[in-house]
Amino acid sequence: MDKPFTLLLCDDEADILDSLRRYLELEGYEILTAGNGAQALEIIQKNAVDLMVIDVMMPVMDGITAVKHLRASGSDLPVIMLTAKSEDLDELQGLRSGANDYVTKPYNFMVLQARIERLLPSPDSVKKTTAKDVLRNGGLEMNTRSRSVSVDGREVHLTPLEYGILHLFMTHPGQVFSLVHIFRAVKNEEPYGAENTIAVHIRHLREKIEIDPAHPEYIRVKFGQGYWMEER
């Protein structure tokens, strides 16, 4: 792998989590860990994650609830659910919640790794980037195949929602979008009064891509109308 995939492992059993982390790090992955579903969602909001492995039964927030929240946010992050053999309904519930696959406990690390590899992009597909896969505006660059973003050559890590907002702006430079329009475009649902959350995500996005977020050069606002991307 030219750029290691980042995996998020979520399990409340610290010994299992640590063993799996060490195994996958030796296989070349970058690993983030969480002890419950709430922690996992917080990590996803702040880091670029390529795939999540999450246990079903955990305190604070279980895996099924966490995946439902993840999918409700508009994220298509690949998810593998871990379920105990005695929990017959968990496999079905996990898939219905939005998980892409499941593995029953106790599991073999190599089997889990094979499931992970099946859901991640193949090395060949990552390398076959063409000009049409890259969007540029000034020093801002977005690779839509690898879903990576850089500013003046420096890679920035965006959450799925931040990426979706930026993609909308970069494919429609100069066009003004209301918060309602942005919400519909990136979440594919009606906001029902929740469109102001988009302004929060835009603020976070500006903090990552603007030299001075207080005086943005890329994502501008037209008061009373919405946001737009300045062509540079």
Q: Does 68 lie in the same domain as 135?
A: no
CATH code at position 148:
1.10.10.10
Q: Are residues 69 and 152 in the same domain?
A: no
What residues make up the domain containing 112?
6-124
* Domain count across the chain: 2
Examine residue 207 and state whether it is found in any structural domain, yes or no: yes
Whether 99 is in a domain gets the answer yes
Do 91 and 164 belong together in one domain?
Answer: no
Same domain, yes or no, for 109 and 160? no
- Nearest-5° Cα angle at 35, 197 to 5: 75
- Give the strands of the sheet with 6-10, arranged side by side: 30-34, 6-10, 51-55, 79-84, 101-105
- Look up the CATH number of the domain holding residue 90: 3.40.50.2300
Alpha carbons 20 and 8: distance in angstroms, whole number? 11
Whether 149 and 118 map to the same domain: the answer is no
Q: What is the pTM of this model?
A: 0.57
pLDDT at 39: 95
For residue 55, pLDDT beyond 50? yes
Domain limit, last residue, from 98, 124, 150: 124
Predicted confidence at residue 196, as pLDDT, reads 86
Residue 135 belongs to some domain of the structure: yes
Q: Are residues 151 and 196 in the same domain?
A: yes
**pLDDT band with cut points at 50, 70 and 90 for residue 126:** very low
Does residue 1 lie within any of the structural domains? Answer: no
28-44: pLDDT as tens digits: 899 999 999 999 999 99
Determine the pLDDT at residue 125: 46
Whether residue 178 is found in the same domain as residue 214: yes
Q: Are 35 and 58 in contact (CB under 8 A)?
A: yes
More confident residue, 177 or 157: 177
Stronger pLDDT, 191 or 140, i.e. the higher one: 140
